Amino acid sequence: MTDYVRKILSSSVYEAAIQTPLEQMELLSAKLGRQILVKREDLQPVFSFKIRGAHNRIANLTEEEKARGVICASAGNHAQGVALSSTRAGIRSVIVMPTTTPLIKVNAVQRLGGEVVLFGDGFDAARAQAEILAERHGYVFVHPFDDPDVIAGQGTVGLEIMRQHPHDLGAIYVPVGGGGLAAGIALLVKFLNPDVKVIGVEPEEAASMKAAIEAGHPVPLDQVGLFADGVAVRQVGEETFRICRELLDGIVTVSADEICAAIKDIFDDHRAITEPAGALALAGLRRDIENGTAPATGALIAVNSGANVNFDRLRYVAERAEIGERAEALLAVTIPEQPGSYRSFIRQIGARAVTEFNYRYAQGDKARIFVGIKLARGDAEKADIISHLVAQGLAVTDLTDNEVAKLHARHMVGGRVGGLNNEMVFRFQFPERPGALLKFLEGLNDEWNITLFHYRNHGSDYGRVLVGVEVPAETRESFFSHIDEIGFPYWDETENPAYKQFLHLA
């Protein structure tokens, strides 16, 4: 430990990296009743802590090694650190990246002067290829985590935390991929104050350190999920395992939904967007507080490790964040297939906001709807809603944690239906406020049967609904007069090719 602490204290990381702030999470602290802070490594020049270890390793190269050039394997953050540090030192850098790497990271590496080679569908395949190229061309391999200089560079994060918050510190939560950051922080923190807990956090679908500790040695995972690509490592390093097994106080694993909720927490408090791996530690911190397993006293700190996320990934994050923080329930409910059933059901929901409502007509006396409901009290409120609906004689299936429902079924409710010769389809738009959906439904007369209904609250100022209605030709004039009186803007989409091809049975 003494040797590592000496390396950390003499590290040259600040030639390339900055000391990042330790910021209060005011909103989340008030919500969870604990002092919570976040270490903003997303503010580094390459938007990730990885610049620390990469630069420290490159700064310690011999002149002969610099002449040979360097190579590394990385899903993006280590790659950017290596590229930036190498370019500044006038060293050639070759970066092998998995083909699944977000484009934002590939482009960033190229802008920083790295020569990108895309290979394999994960970090381990990329690393194997990098080792082959290093042997073939004589490059110096810069390991992303299992190297003493890299570990020491990452340890400077712990040094800064202990300087920024030297007293009343309960625990530091650290994201774990290969283990370099966790090992470096644990070495420094435990040297200075053994009473401070250092807790690693891993995704459930890539918990390689947890598997290694349970096995007593590093073991390869059979499969690694790629959502948190910055920590998607199949097997941790020998050196990082040795340190983490001895010094970490525990490992917490979290779901992708919990990571999405933590991304939202950071945005709500700091208006900053992190990558999934960047919010991983905060997700673990929240899990420990909610489970009652966090240290009882002292501030709790989460390391926000990076912000390199593709913009289009945010659609998935937004969709899953409220489920991850247990703020949305997804239910399948069977109601009578008869006019007025929708209004009756929405009244049973009460003043709660409906986030989604999907329905497609099916012949028979029962209708099945897919509904999302915003929760203020998490699972306890969901249980109350289900109990109330069941007491009203409705069949309810909880789909909140059903992956097929969350990823696919919610977008596939519908299809072509026979026997609807008089169906017309309309888009409606109405101001998005509590009770707006019920007001809209109450404005539709039971004289016309609803055959299709899709509504999703996207958090905007206006709710948008797609509605199918059976309108016999002889009643169309009165129908249009009726919907004109409702007063909401609408568009007739009966001839829309998307409806014609996918929802209408000719």
Q: How confident is the model at residue 458 (pLDDT cuts 50, 70, 90)?
A: low
Residue 425 in contact with residue 466, Cβ under 8 Å? Answer: yes
Output the six-digit token pair for 3: 């040797």
Q: Which entry of 50, 190, 197, 406 is annotated as an active-site residue? A: 50
Give yes or no for residue 459 having a pLDDT over 60: no
Q: Which entry of 11, 85, 208, 305 is annotated as an active-site residue? A: 305
Fold of 2-48+148-320: Rossmann fold (3.40.50)
Question: Taking Cα atoms as reference points, which of 485, 479, 482, 441 lies closest to residue 494?
Answer: 479
CB within 8 A of 229, min separation 6: which ones?
75, 76, 100, 101, 102, 275, 276, 277
Q: Sign of the CA dihedral 82, 232, 323, 284?
A: negative
Phi–psi pair at 383, nearest 5 degrees? -60, -40
Of residues 276 and 350, more confidently modeled: 276
Question: Taking Cα atoms as reference points, which of 8, 93, 9 lies closest to residue 46?
Answer: 93
* 79-93, 163-177, 393-407: segment of lowest average pLDDT: 393-407
Domain 326-502 has CATH 3.50.50.60: no
* 184-188, 401-405, 470-474: segment of lowest average pLDDT: 401-405
**Which residues make up the CATH 3.40.50.1100 domain(s) of the chain?**
2-48+148-320, 50-141
**Which residues make up the CATH 3.40.1020.10 domain(s) of the chain?**
326-502
3-state helix, strand, coil in the chain (%, to 5): 45, 20, 35
Can 305 be counted among the known catalytic residues? yes
Domain 50-141 - what CATH class? alpha beta
How far from the centroid of its chain's Cα atoms is residue 247's Cα? Answer: 28
Percent above pLDDT 70 for the chain: 93
pTM over 0.75: yes
* 35-49, 66-80, 163-177, 306-320: segment of lowest average pLDDT: 306-320
Q: Please state, in angstroms and rounded to a whole number, the distance separating the CA atoms of residues 184 and 5.
A: 9
Output the six-digit token pair for 410: 């919610």
pLDDT reported for residue 251: 98
Per residue in 398-425, pLDDT tens?
988 887 677 666 765 666 677 778 889 8
pLDDT reported for residue 180: 97
Q: How confident is the model at residue 181 (pLDDT cuts 50, 70, 90)?
A: very high
Position 95, amino acid: I
pLDDT reported for residue 416: 65
Q: Please state, in angstroms and rounded to a whole number, the distance separating the CA atoms of residues 440 and 465.
A: 10
Given the DSSP bridges, would you call strands 197-203 and 169-175 parallel, antiparallel or unpaired?
Answer: parallel
Q: Please state, in angstroms and rounded to a whole number, the distance separating the CA atoms of residues 145 and 156.
A: 14
Average pLDDT value for the chain:
89
Output the six-digit token pair for 279: 């919010």
CB within 8 A of 204, min separation 6: which ones?
225, 253, 254, 255, 256
